[in-house]
Amino acid sequence: MRRKDKKVWIKDMAAQRIVRLFHLANESFDEDPGLSKRYVFLARRIGMRHRVRIPPHLKRRICKGCGAYLVPGASCRVRVRGGRVITTCLECGHHKRIPYHKAGR
Ligand SMILES: [Zn+2]
């Protein structure tokens, strides 16, 4: 295996582990939100260590303020206002604003 191939392989593994950890966070949330927070923490740490980006659809499920796993209706509140989706963490009150493009512009 060439050096570059190995690097790519390691990053690929890291990305897979991140996705896997989010699955676990999702599964454990009902029973133990603290545990899913731990999984999210691990996923972020893997991402940082390997410099792998967390996929955008998963990234918006992490609270930047306290690192909680955000589940709409359970651990966060989601509102649409002024062309933005505002996600409020119910644990620490941190707001996340994500602009979106209206359908058909
Ligand atoms: Zn929070």
Domains and CATH numbers, the chain: 3-99 (1.20.5.420)
For ligand 1, an ion, list residues with CB under 5 A.
Answer: 63, 65-66, 68, 89, 91-92, 94
Chain mean pLDDT for the chain: 93
- Per-residue tokens: 76: 């966060």
Give percent of the chain with pLDDT exceeding 90: 87
Q: Which of 68, 60, 58 has its CA nearest to residue 23?
A: 58
Q: CA end-to-end span of the chain, whole Å?
A: 47
- Per-residue tokens: 38: 């731990």
Q: Which amino acid is at 25?
A: A
Separation CA 40–CA 21 (nearest Å): 7
pLDDT in tens, 83-94: 899 999 999 999
pLDDT in tens, 23-73: 999 999 999 999 999 999 999 999 999 999 999 999 999 999 999 999 999
Q: Tell me the pTM.
A: 0.87
Q: Ligand 1 center to residue 3 CA distance, Å?
A: 40
